[in-house]
Amino acid sequence: MAKRKHRAKPNQSRPTPSLRTYPVWDAHLRASHWLITGLFGALFLSGHFGLGPTWLHIWLGYGLITVLLFRLGWGLIGSDSARWGSLFPAPSRIMAYLPLLFSRQPSRWPGHNPVGALSALVLIGLLLIQCLSGLFVETWSEYRGPLAERMPRSFMMAMTDLHSVLRWPLLALVIVHLTAVFAYLGLKRENRIRPIFGNGELILDREPTLEIRGGRRAWTTWLLAAALTALVVWLGPVY
């Protein structure tokens, strides 16, 4: 009886995914990131070290308020990667990502990973509190926030203390954020600096299902943010 020949089974292992660049962060989201970074640095230097005149610190603060208001609005109607829903990861996703945090394997995450998203949320929240408290600050020097005279003195002094103390947690978070970015560059060989300051494209192993928005919707959000800031400026004296 003739023996049956057994055919070799095809290799069923998954092929290595090909890496390609895909657009993730839109131009307006990237611009807000640049502006927040630069304005916070300038505000810290001018506020803590007294570099520059008082009016410069005040108007830098108005600039940061405008950018943060845009970021709030863009998180509601902007690109998918800018939406607040993408920055609120489920606890299960956070726990699943933690073992990969210190791994040398690139994450190829289409945007913020779950841990980075939480860090970004806390940072934006603290920046908002810092800016709001600055509107009510009153010191014994020439500085006075535009809304200081509209509130009781006890409230103004509490806001002054908060504004003074909150700079340190903010600085610590910025340092942690920068350390993580450079650690990813050295440990995982993932460059997240070039995309956020470049064209917003990330090297991924699969195409993300993201809708990138901009145009009239983005510029309208910027104008509304600037109008709200202008209203705050108009409400009260700077000094």
Q: Which residues are registered as beta bridge partners of 201? A: 23
pTM of the model: 0.85
Report if residue 225 sits inside a domain. Answer: yes
Is 15 domain-assigned?
A: no
- 3 within domain boundaries: no
* Residue-averaged pLDDT of the chain: 84
- More confident position, 38 or 49: 38
**CB pairs under 8 A, 24+ apart, for 30-39?**
30/196, 30/197, 30/200, 32/67, 32/70, 32/71, 32/74, 33/196, 34/196, 34/197, 35/63, 35/64, 35/67, 36/64, 36/67, 36/68, 36/71, 36/127, 39/63, 39/64, 39/67
What is the domain count for the chain?
1
Domain annotation covers residue 12:
no
User: Could you tell me the residue range of the domain that residue 131 belongs to?
Assistant: 20-235
Residue 164 sits in a domain whose CATH number is 1.20.950.20
Confirm whether 148 is domain-assigned: yes
Does the pLDDT at position 132 exceed 90? yes
Residue 14 forms part of a structural domain: no
Which residue, among 39, 32, 28, has the nearest Cα to 64 in the 3D structure? 39
**In this model, does residue 224 exceed pLDDT 80?**
yes
Q: Give the residue ranges of DSSP H helices in 2-152.
A: 27-48, 54-77, 91-97, 114-134
Q: Is the pLDDT of residue 75 over 60?
A: yes
pLDDT tens profile 92-130: 888 878 877 778 887 787 888 888 888 889 999 999 999
Q: Which residues does 69 contact at the CB level (< 8 Å), separation at least 6?
A: 224, 225, 228, 229
